[in-house]
């Protein structure tokens, strides 16, 4: 008897649940807005921040050469007085068609980026050991002048002689460097500058 009651209840309740579900589903889908229990209709909102059709938005993006950033970060890392001249270094390297990393790398090898200049060379603006041999000392009136002179000499005279890599440049720039340590130091510094890109 119990089985008959359960079977009857099943056949009676199942169609009732299906019909009520279908009716409820049709009620929800016929509504203009989705049904969210406990939430009323959403208010109309005026989006004033959205531009009207036909309006244009002008954005001015200034970019900096990533090479300038790499040189500037490298010089800043070593607290060099050359840090403000990073852009000058890159522009001058482009002007004379040399690797932009070469001038800071030579300065690092010769004077730790002007941080280890002997007292007698302090006012020379010569961080590159350029034109210093024996009692001869080449002085410059500014770092810009020094950067230009060193870059010009390497870009014109050295390249003309086929001296391009640090190893080749060393043969004329500092030929007495033992075991090529100058070229190794310059190449290592150039690599460090390019890693920061």
Q: What is the pLDDT of residues 151-183, one digit of tens each?
A: 999 999 999 999 999 999 999 999 888 889 999
Q: Which residues have a Cβ under 8 Å from the Cβ of 162 and sit 6 or more positions away?
A: 168
Q: What is the pLDDT of residues 94-104, one digit of tens each?
A: 999 999 999 99
In this predicted model, what pLDDT tens digit does every residue of 123-146 receive, in sequence order? Answer: 899 999 898 877 888 899 999 999
| Averaged pLDDT score across all residues of the chain | 85
Listed in sequence order, the residues at least 6 apart from 158 whose beta carbon sits closer than 8 Å to its beta carbon are 164, 168, 169, 172, 173
User: Which percentage of the chain shows pLDDT scores above 90?
Assistant: 52
d(CA 114, CA 107): 7
CA angle 137, 71, 66 (to 5 degrees): 145
Residue 196 pLDDT exceeds 70: no
Look up the pTM and report it.
0.66
Mean pLDDT along residues 180-197: 89
Domains, in order of start, for the chain: 66-195 (1.10.530.10)
**Residue 32's pLDDT is what?**
53
């Amino acid at each position: 008897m119990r089985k008959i009651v359960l079977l009857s209840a099943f056949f009676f309740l199942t169609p009732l649940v299906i019909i009520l579900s279908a009716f409820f589903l049709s009620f929800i889908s016929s509504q203009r807005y989705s049904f969210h229990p406990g939430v009323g209709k959403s208010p109309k909102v005026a989006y004033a921040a959205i531009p009207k059709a036909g309006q244009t938005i002008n954005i001015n993006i200034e970019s900096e050469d990533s090479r300038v950033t790499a040189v500037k970060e490298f010089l800043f890392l070593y607290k060099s007085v050359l840090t403000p001249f990073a852009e000058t270094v890159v522009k001058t390297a482009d002007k004379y068609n040399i690797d932009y990393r070469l001038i800071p790398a030579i300065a690092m090898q010769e004077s730790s980026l002007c941080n280890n200049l002997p007292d007698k060379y302090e006012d020379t603006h010569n961080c590159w050991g350029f034109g210093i041999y024996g009692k001869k000392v080449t002085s410059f009136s500014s770092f810009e002048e020094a950067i230009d002179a060193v870059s010009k000499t390497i870009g014109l005279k050295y390249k003309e002689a086929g001296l391009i890599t640090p190893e080749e440049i060393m043969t004329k720039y500092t030929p007495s460097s033992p075991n090529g340590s100058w070229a190794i130091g310059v190449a290592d510094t150039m690599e460090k500058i390019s890693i920061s890109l």
